[in-house]
Amino acid sequence: MNIGATPLYIASQNGHLNIAELLLANRASVNNAMYHGTTPLYIASLNGHRNIAELLLANRASVDNAKDDGATPLYIASQKGHWNIAQLLLANEASVDNARDDGATPLHIASRNGLEDIAELLLANGASLDSAMDEGPTPLYIASQNGQHNVARLLLENRASLNNAMDGGVTSLYIASQNDHRNIAELLLANRASVNNAMYRGTTPLLIACQNGYEYISKLLLANWASVDNAKDDGATPL
C-alpha cells in the first residue's frame, strides 16, 4: 500500500502522462510527498519516466526534494542508470553533489554500479571527484572495491586522488588487492598508487594479497616495489 501517495504520485509512478497532465491542470500539488519523503518527481526518476519528469519540472516540481534518507531524484536516476533523466535533472539545476545521509553522492552510486556514462555526465556537471562518504570512501575507492574498471579509469583520467584512504587507512589499492580485482590494481599502479600504504594495524596491500592467496596480485605488487618485509602490528609479514 502506498501510504500518503496522491493521485499525481500514482500517475507519475506508472508513467500515465495524460492523467498527470489532467491532475496538474486541476491544481494538483506537484511536491506532495509520501510519508518517507518520496515525491512524484522522485518516483518518475526512479522508474525512468522522462516525459513525466519533464511535465513535473515544467510545473515547478522541486528538483532537489529528497527522501528521508537524503536521496534526491538525481541520486536515484544515477543509481538506476537513467541517463536521460539525470541529464534532464541537471539541466534543471539539480545539485550534482547532494548526498544521502551516509554521504553517498550520485557519483558514488554510479561508481559502485559501474555506470560510466552516468559518471561522465556527473563529472561534466562539476561532480566532486574526491567527496568522501561516512568513514571515508571516495568514488574511486567504491569503484575499486566493486571491480568497476571503466569508471575507475574515468575517475583517474579526471585526476581523482589515488591514495585517499578510509578512516582505517584502507586505500583503493588495498581494497582492490583484498578483493583480487587485478585490472583495477594494474590501473592504480600504472597511475602510481602508493604500493606500501598500510592500514592502521600495519596491513599492506601485499600482505592482504598473500594472506588471501592471490598470486597474481602479489606478483604485481612485488613488480611495483612492494616491500616484502613490512609487518603488521603483531609482527606478521607477507612471508
Contact 144, 128 (CB under 8 A): no
CA proximity to 176, closest of 213, 203, 149, 202: 149
Domain that holds residue 209: 170-239
CA 88/CA 137 separation, integer angstroms: 28
The single residue listed with the C-alpha cell 570512501 is: 137
- The number of distinct structural domains making up the chain is 3
CA proximity to 48, closest of 78, 22, 71: 78
195-204 per-position pLDDT tens digit: 999 998 899 9
Phi first, then psi: give them for residue 40, nearest 5 degrees. Answer: -55, -40
Higher pLDDT, 168 or 220: 220
In this prediction, residue 99 carries a pLDDT of 98
pTM listed for this prediction:
0.96
Residues 68 and 157 in one domain: no
Is the per-residue pLDDT at 40 higher than 80? yes
Residues 233 and 177 in one domain: yes
Average model confidence (pLDDT) for the chain? 96
Residues 12 and 76 in one domain: yes
CATH assignment at residue 17: 1.25.40.20
Q: Which whole number is the average pLDDT over 176-186? A: 98
100-153 per-position pLDDT tens digit: 999 999 999 999 999 999 999 999 999 999 999 999 999 999 999 999 999 999
Per-residue pLDDT band at 231 (split at 50, 70, 90): confident
Residues 192 and 230 in one domain: yes
Residue 100 in domain? no
Among candidate residues 75, 95, 115, the one where a domain is terminated: 95
Is the per-residue pLDDT at 35 higher than 90? no
Q: Which whole number is the average pLDDT over 229-238? A: 87
CA 69/CA 81 separation, integer angstroms: 20
Residues 88 and 44 in one domain: yes
Residues 75 and 38 in one domain: yes
44-75 per-position pLDDT tens digit: 999 999 999 999 999 999 999 999 999 999 99
CA 115/CA 78 separation, integer angstroms: 8
Residue 124 in domain? yes
Q: Which whole number is the average pLDDT over 80-84? A: 98
In this prediction, residue 2 carries a pLDDT of 63
At 88, which helix (H) or strand (E)? helix 83-91
